[in-house]
Structure 1
C-alpha cells in the first residue's frame, strides 16, 4: 500500500530596517499533511533558515512522519532583543 508522503513548508520572510540584522523569517511546516500537526518557528539568521529547510527536506525524503521539536529553535536564532520584534 502506498502512503501519502506529502509535506508542506511555508516560509514568510521580511526585512526590519531598524534592526541590527534586518532579516526575519517565519516557517510554518508539517510532515504529516492530513493529521493537522503544524509547527511554527521564527528566525533572524539566514544560515539558520537555510539549515532548517535542508534538515526538513532530508526528513521528508527519509519519510519522517512529523517533527516534534526542531533541532534549531526560535530562541537560538532570534536576535537578543527579548523577542521584542517577534511576530
Structure 2
C-alpha cells in the first residue's frame, strides 16, 4: 500500500518529503521464529535468487534510508532494497 501512497502523500504533504524504502529478505531478529537450520536454508534459497548473491543486512536498509534523507530533491519515491530479488525468475 505504501508503494502507491508515497507519491500521493508527497504531493499532499508538500513541502514535507515522503519516500519509502521497500526491503527484501533482510537478516534481522524477525526471522528468529525459525530454527537456525531452517532460517539458514531460507536465507540460502533467497540469496541464490538475487543477482548480488546474498540476502540483505540491516545496514543495507539503513544506507538506503540515509540516501533518501540526504538527498533533499527526492520525494514520492519508492526505493527497493532487495538485492535484485524482484528480478528473480
In the superposition, the TM-score normalised over structure 2's length comes to 0.34
As a proportion of its length, which structure holds more strand?
1
Bigger relative CO (Cα 8 Å, ≥ 6 apart): 2
Larger helix share, 1 or 2: 2
Rg larger in structure: 2
User: TM-score, normalised to structure 1's length?
Assistant: 0.34
